[in-house]
Amino acid sequence: MDTRWKPSVTVAAIIEREGRFLLVEEETPEGLRLNNPAGHLDPGESPIQGCIREALEETAHEFLPTHLLGIYLSRFQRKLPDDQVQDITYLRFAFAGRLGKEVAGRALDQGIVRTVWMSPEEIEAQSNRCRSPLVLRCVNDYLRGQRYPLELVQTDPSVQQFGV
């Protein structure tokens, strides 16, 4: 039996423009939720590459990470229909950066209903709709000026050699 704890590694783009933050509205098992453009790290990619990809898939815009905002660990529990509980731990690498050009004709990722720009106050007022507490936490950390060099996140070349 495999008992090793394996958190799900995710990446998130924290994108601010004129005091508003770019979020996505997405379908989840819990209903329509708000999230930073974010998703799971894929095999063979660095966290920075994963963040660029996820931002593009979920917003149809290019994204240029400029700073590591933080590394977050959170736990989520979901009740399943058979009275079981799904227990998931997420390890999130959040990156601040600049939104680039829109990729014309690109559809949003499956499950993403739309993108929306919201002020921190609007996000806080709708925190019950946030996919996780990390949505608002990352926004608040950004507003506090928390920034770290991208060089803190290193990816060994062996990762890109991973057979997919």
pLDDT tens digit sequence for 99-136: 999 999 999 999 999 999 999 999 999 999 999 999 99
Is 1 among the domain residues?
A: no
pLDDT at residue 163 is higher than 70 = no
Domain count of the chain? 1
Q: What is the CATH classification number for the domain harbouring 53?
A: 3.90.79.10
Say whether pLDDT at 2 is over 80.
no
Q: How confident is the model over 16-75, as pLDDT tens digits?
A: 999 999 999 999 988 999 999 999 999 999 999 999 999 999 999 999 999 999 999 998
Domain for residue 3, yes or no?
A: no
Compute the distance between CA of residue 37 and CA of residue 39 in angstroms, rounded to an integer.
7
Q: Return d(Cα 134, Cα 154) in angstroms, integer.
A: 23
Residue 40 lies in domain: 8-151
Model pLDDT, residue 125: 97
- Which helix (H) or strand (E) is 53 found in, with range? helix 47-59
Q: Is residue 147 in some structural domain?
A: yes
Check residue 1 and give its pLDDT: 56
Q: What is the pLDDT of residue 81?
A: 82
